[in-house]
Structure 1
């Protein structure tokens, strides 16, 4: 039995109408009669043919692939060189074992070739080739093998303190929101596993939460996280460059680690601004080099940390005129947070 969803925050990606007939398996737009399917009850409010090539590629080969399924393991591996040893040591052990195995196989291959033991050499060559092929399936992982130790040593020799920390930026934004005196509407764009939405202070607000992502694999992890925490959230499968929400719907629009990797970052930011209410807040985090980076740190940044991005800085030069009070804070050596307010 379908229920009518009228005058909601949602809008049809086809015709921009706001009325849907909703069931657990599909959402039908009553304006254009287009039907959107659901995955585990989560509506797919996007048009596949209109997805950007980069967004489709990352979804299909990255987030819906092995990386996404093992996200709780693979993501910490990417940032292993920049995290304290106290929390990254299990990844360094796994890295060390893999590196020793590769070097051992390479040394054994050379030894057996010199000795003329070609059958053993062929087996060692096959084993080494298989490992390198598996690593090359995600090029960042292959590059991590050679750049991790030099990058870590380079970062360890010169402590760096930001002018405004990650925590301070969030507190600057959160403090006035706690005193809003009304229930807020918060949207997290490209939410992934909902980890950032849940862990960076947003749960301290009196708010309703909406989270959107293009990857079913990641969004199902987000559903599990928020369900286990007992936090109600409206989950949507959708396109960050064509958000299926009405204008002026949210008090806060967030995005962590996504903008720089989208097909068209400027369009995505314009969409975030469109769905924000006048006076609303935008906050997003992504990769950006700090000024004092060494050549080895830049190699790690480009080959591993930022390898999937189309830009490598905060694209303030493309912001729509509706965004004011723009502040870009370099909160870590390789990450910025941008905050802005929608005029109105």
Structure 2
């Protein structure tokens, strides 16, 4: 189970922004390593996107190649450094995307604005991930889908113990709670997982989440 909100370590939005502005060049330069590891899982999940698509906490844009042709892509991130790298990614891919600096806890969009809301490896860094999931739900159309690709505590005991041991150090460096359980966060937000798939020793979780329709 994931820690309750009161026990969940978190950095402030300003700290997260500063950290990822600083780390953006490294993410842009070495993103190919992550793509080799989990690109096929991103592809399997994000190829489901359709229509008006929002990528929340898009980072340097690693999801962009996996969205189908024809989606109307909007992407947001708190870090201007990450978003600058994402803009270069759109140019390389020849994508027409609306990129905006925005706080995921307060998305600058009307209710039901998107047919697909996507996010990858992000709930671990949000100061209040449950609030963000509810914002994703708010901007997703009732007949749409929320697509989440997250990492969390392995279901292999030895790997999980190692994650737990390293978790405080990793959080200090990257503001990342890498041993949380992402499906618990979805449940805490009051949303339902329609499909879930785990890969790479159970560390990575792909979820198709139904919007609440509220």
Quick check: TM above 0.5? Answer: yes
The 4+ residue runs of structure 1 with deviation greater than 6 A are: none
Match of residue 268, structure 1, among 115, 132, 146: 132
Contact 2:28–2:60 (Cα < 8 Å) also in 1: no
Mapped pair 1:316 → 2:186: yes
Q: How far did residue 211 of structure 1 move?
A: 0.3
Larger Rg: 1
* Residue of structure 2 equivalent to 1:47: none
Mapped pair 1:336 → 2:205: yes
Contact 2:133–2:186 (Cα < 8 Å) also in 1: no
Mapped pair 1:210 → 2:74: yes
Alignment of 1:74-85 (within 5 A): none
- Matched positions, count: 195
How far apart, in 1, do the equivalents of 2:149 and 2:129 lie? 13
Relative to structure 1, is the Cα distance of residues 199 and 301 closer, same or farther in structure 2, using a 3 angstrom cutoff? Answer: farther
Q: How far did residue 57 of structure 1 move?
A: 0.6
Relative to structure 1, is the Cα distance of residues 312 and 76 closer, same or farther in structure 2, using a 3 angstrom cutoff? Answer: farther
Alignment of 1:1-344 (within 5 A): 53-60=11-18, 62-65=19-22, 67-73=23-29, 166=41, 169-170=44-45, 174=48, 184-196=51-63, 198-200=64-66, 202=67, 204-294=68-158, 295-296=161-162, 298-300=164-166, 303-304=169-170, 308-310=175-177, 312-314=180-182, 315-320=185-190, 323-333=191-201, 334-344=203-213
Relative to structure 1, is the Cα distance of residues 167 and 207 closer, same or farther in structure 2, using a 3 angstrom cutoff? Answer: closer
Relative to structure 1, is the Cα distance of residues 244 and 297 closer, same or farther in structure 2, using a 3 angstrom cutoff? Answer: closer
Q: Where does structure 1 lack aligned partners over 5 or more consecutive residues?
A: 1-51, 85-164, 179-183
Deviations 1:4-56 (A, max 9, x none): xxxxxxxxxxxxxxxxxxxxxxxxxxxxxxxxxxxxxxxxxxxxxxxx95322
Deviations 1:105-157 (A, max 9, x none): xxxxxxxxxxxxxxxxxxxxxxxxxxxxxxxxxxxxxxxxxxxxxxxxxxxxx
Relative to structure 1, is the Cα distance of residues 264 and 296 closer, same or farther in structure 2, using a 3 angstrom cutoff? Answer: closer
TM-score, normalising length from structure 1?
Answer: 0.50
Select the structure with the greater relative contact order (CA < 8 A; seq sep ≥ 6): 2
TM-score, normalising length from structure 2?
Answer: 0.78
Q: How far did residue 336 of structure 1 move?
A: 1.4
SS of corresponding position for 1:195: coil
SS of corresponding position for 1:261: coil
Q: How far did residue 290 of structure 1 move?
A: 2.0
